Amino acid sequence: MLSTQYRNILLKVAEASVRHGLKHHEPLPMNLAEYPETLREKAASFVTLTIYNELRGCIGTLEAYQPLVTDVSERAFCAAFRDPRFPPLSAGELPHLHYHISILSEATSMQFESEADLLRQLRPGVDGLILEDGPHRGTFLPSVWDSLPQTKEFLRHLKLKAGLQPDYWSPTLRIERYTTESF
């Protein structure tokens, strides 16, 4: 768990990266020496932007490959300007923007014999899932449980997000789970 101080630093970095992006069309450049060692450790994150509690952008990474503070800066920029579901953020939206950061644990493979077995293993409100089968891939953060609290519906919607039919099932289907620290 990150301290309140470190959480606040990351929230400020996310906001600064969006402001920088409005002017320079790129994420805030990071000087890692300016940040505590904890925030320089490799970690994967998602940054979700909302305006009046409505989604305005959400972009993340599933694997830790760069320092957390850099990942947050880049994800915030991408959520504001590169989420394909939305037009790029405008300066007029900036005062209404709310930032939410999720830091992901390492994903672990789930072992299951059937869809019913998988559903029994799911932990609503705790698990984020990555679903993969061939070229199809999708993820839901644990926060999605707030709008899809039933395990069966959660999985059906995740299949749709991955480009599969909601009743799709195959022995080649792979599921990984992860948790998040969100603020």
Domain locations along the chain:
4-104, 108-182
Considering the entire predicted model, what is its pTM? Answer: 0.90
In whole angstroms, give the CA distance from residue 71 to residue 88.
Answer: 19
Which tokens belong to 174?
């792979």
Q: In what order do the strands lie in the sheet with 174-178?
A: 108-109, 174-178, 128-133, 136-140
pLDDT values of the chain reduced to their tens digit, one per residue, 183 residues:
899 999 999 999 999 999 999 999 999 999 999 999 999 999 999 999 999 999 999 999 999 999 999 999 999 999 999 999 999 999 999 999 999 999 999 999 999 999 999 999 999 999 999 999 999 999 999 999 999 999 999 999 999 999 999 999 999 999 999 999 999
Give pLDDT, residue 11.
98
Residue 29, classed as helix, strand or coil, is coil
Q: Identical fold at 4-104 and 108-182? A: no
Taking Cα atoms as reference points, which of 74, 169, 55 lies closest to residue 114? 169
Q: Which CATH class is domain 4-104?
A: alpha beta
Q: In terms of CATH, what superfamily is 108-182?
A: Hypothetical protein ph0010; domain 2 (3.30.1490.150)
